[in-house]
Structure 1
């Protein structure tokens, strides 16, 4: 057996520890609360940056631009913005994320957030690492991800990301390297960590169910998840419960009266790549989460995160895809004028968009390099940390529904056979069309 093959075998046999959380209760912000803002219509096509945000109070500006993991998607007001305004809002949100976390993040190429002073070397040779060290780079961490080695390098001095990359590639010609990009939830973002207890402290056995892994924030306790088999692992510190992660998990394995998740009875593994930190969610954390996910031999992986293309993440996805591990990912909610988002755009990943209760594609859904399927992502309820339900909106919440059906049917080809028609860009059709829980039925806020 080759070194690479043995690495993959070790990956598939790796175990994980359940991470416990603190017991308390907190409230969730169900949507993006823009209040009575002077929002432009799509016909006006008014850019937010120059015209709208300059009129906002500090509180309104924060509500519109500060990323957090506890909002359940974009609000109806935001979804009705012009495409250029949605793209401007994305740029502002990323800028605010960097500004709010200056010791952890900086602006990389195209203004996307990257970990400050950090570069990733991918499958480097010993000679390349020696050359990097001679140029002043320090090894921060080394990860063998089963057929894929990544070395995190700390850049010398206060070089800009581009300058650091230039120095590294000049010192070690031929080295495959990238920035450690930071990824956002595709339907809402991260306030300080939710205080609700983590779900799944004593997961019940699932005799013959499917196995699904979700890569997101941590999942809080909730009545709908009390009987579910949930194991959580943190990849940015200890796992911490979030509103976004809790909602996604409930859409997968929740069960509480009239509320039913699309994969009720499945075993759920939760890879928390945030740990309650808005500056986390890096490419290196996501790739380590994918390696852990692969070790569970899942029937599907649900990824409700979006960000730029990253060489390390691309190679990790390719390895999992080659092993037949099926992944679904959201296309994002920043409109078709925003850049194409990853990992949804990678080959081997099923790209998911969202539709409303009338089977219409959401206008704020992101542009896709390749759009595979749609699922309900609006006019629906999901769990709030602790108790209760909220109305959710966004491609984040369509993605677990597609993952649930993929796990149940076993292939994208089977999804083709059940996909229904819809209005607008819905890819090959709408799956899990009846998986929406009416907010009125469960008293969603």
Structure 2
């Protein structure tokens, strides 16, 4: 971190003349140890504070999951890894044509087997036997279908919050004018005041306006994305944001022509969603995703950690990395994710904070590069401002993109 580099630079600055044993009549200069020790103590206190903050974020994440499961035990349960998923359901790929025959005497029931629109692969949705946990179901199915890809239907969570109403709002800054490639968004639905080309629901009660979805869509628009489609994977469903809904939403967005898809959601690794994103990438679609807000001690965030996904973190108005920013298995870019503004579902302007809100700014930049027929990676790398240590790093990635963007 920059603070540690500064502290050690100061220590070296003071230590150098002392090491040269400068002496002045009647003046006692402090020894090197006397100078460096307080600096070491400052470093130790700063590191300890950072560790406590990271531990607090991990505990907050676990409490949130525990509350969600305890309040919705009829539709949500934990899988073998302790991750929340839709209760009593498993997802299966590559099971072969004899799936129903193999299931006949197993107690599992086939709810549906369908081809995912726009992605050209099939997913089977199974009901587990009564009283069987997801952990037990996974073990049973792996024995029953050894060649198949099996997964729980994991839930994903939005990674940002509206902090408070914004009373004084500057006009949108950092927008890029000109035509952009069509952008898809997987989130909650935006409110009516946020102009989008099309919205479709993939959850119970969807499309249903949400503050998070409205903010993300408004940031896309403020950054100059001019053809936005939204797959609402939440609606009013307590088990919304599940992997299957995201897969179907992604397929629909691609079928409708989206060339960039932004996802400000985080969850665990899921085989079905990973397959869907790989299929989208083979079609030339760029997927952009946030690293989440569970802190650096949290598990790696997905879908940001899948191969080829553009992983985005966030900085505040002073270009400092957000303390709550999560991590991914790789990091591409940073963008403003605090001290920015967006619209909620009722059209009110709110101050926003979180990696959720950095992600659409990067997605809009990708869309503009594609719309102009340019190589998007080269365009973003040229724009990116190097922060932190020189070159790509695990705090800011390849640099800050859309640094002057402040929302609307």
TM-score band, normalised by shorter chain: 0.7 to 0.9
What residue in structure 2 maps to residue 178 of structure 1? 151
2:214 corresponds to 1:246:
yes
Determine if the alignment matches structure 1 residue 187 to structure 2 residue 148.
Answer: no
In structure 1, C-alpha distance between the alignment counterparts of 2:104 and 2:69, rounded to whole Å: 28
Q: Deviations over 1:130-177 (max 9, x none)?
A: 212321110112220132110000011211111111111222222211
Contact 1:182 1:283 in 2 (8 A): yes
Deviations, residues 314-355 of structure 1 (Å, cap 9, x unaligned): 111111111110110000000010000101001121000001
Q: 1:209: Cα distance to partner? A: 4.9
Q: Secondary structure at the match of 1:390?
A: strand
Q: Choose which of 272, 283, 287 in structure 2 pairs with 1:327.
A: 287
2:272 is matched with 312
Whole-Å separation in 1 of the counterparts to 2:357 and 2:249: 20
Q: Which residue of 1 aligns with 2:183?
A: 212
CA distance in 2 between counterparts of 1:316 and 1:430 reads 29
Match of 2:256 in 1: 296
Cα distance in 1 between the residues matched to 2:365 and 2:234: 26
Question: Which residues in structure 2 correspond to 1:56-67 (within 5 Å)?
Answer: none
Cα-to-partner distance string for 1:267-319 (whole Å, 9 max, x where unaligned): 11010000122321110000000100111222311100100000001111111
Cα distance in 2 between the residues matched to 1:263 and 1:298 = 15
Q: Would you say the 8 A contact 1:137–1:153 is kept in 2?
A: yes
C-alpha distance in 1 between matches for 2:46 and 2:113: 48
Q: Which whole-Å CA distance do the structure 2 matches of 1:188 and 1:117 have between them?
A: 31
2:123 maps to 1:123: no
Give the Cα separation in 2 of the matches to 1:123 and 1:171: 13
Higher mean alpha-carbon deviation, 310-319 vs 117-126, is at 117-126
Matched, 1:234 2:201: yes
Normalising by structure 2, what TM-score? 0.78
Which structure 1 segments of 5+ residues have no match?
Answer: 1-40, 48-80, 190-206, 254-260
| 2:315 corresponds to 1:355 | yes
Match of 1:138 in 2: 109
Q: Answer yes or no: is the 8 Å Cα contact 1:232–1:269 preserved in 2.
A: yes
Cα separation, partners in 2 of 1:215 and 1:366, compared to 1, 3 Å: same
Deviation readout 1:62-105 (Å, 9 max, x if unpaired): xxxxxxxxxxxxxxxxxxx6101101111111111111111110
User: Secondary structure, in 3 states, of the residue corresponding to 2:65?
Assistant: helix
Residue 405 of structure 2: aligned partner: 435
Residue 224 of structure 2 corresponds to residue 263 of structure 1: yes
Runs of 4+ in 1 over 6 A off after TM superposition: none
Within-5 A mapping of 1:17-416 = 82-145=53-116, 146-188=119-161, 209-222=180-193, 225=194, 228-237=195-204, 238-253=206-221, 261-264=222-225, 266-410=226-370, 411-416=376-381
C-alpha displacement of 1:388: 2.1
Specify the SS of the correspondent of 1:328: strand
Match of 2:38? none
Write the deviation string for residues 3-53 of structure 1: whole angstroms up to 9, x where unpaired.
xxxxxxxxxxxxxxxxxxxxxxxxxxxxxxxxxxxxxx9766699xxxxxx
The verdict on how the C-alpha distance between 1:43 and 1:347 changes in structure 2, with shifts beyond 3 A counting, is closer
From the superposition, tell whether residues 46 and 351 of structure 1 become closer, same or farther in structure 2 (CA, over 3 Å): closer
Output the aligned Cα RMSD. Answer: 2.0
Change (3 A) 1:188 1:111: farther
What is aligned with 1:417? 382
Structure 2: how far apart are the matches of 1:316 and 1:286?
A: 9
Larger Rg: 2
Give the Cα separation in 2 of the matches to 1:320 and 1:361: 30
Does the 8 Å CA contact 1:97/1:279 hold for their aligned counterparts?
A: no
Q: TM-score, normalised by structure 1?
A: 0.72
Q: How many matched pairs?
A: 336
Q: Partner of 2:40 in structure 1?
A: none
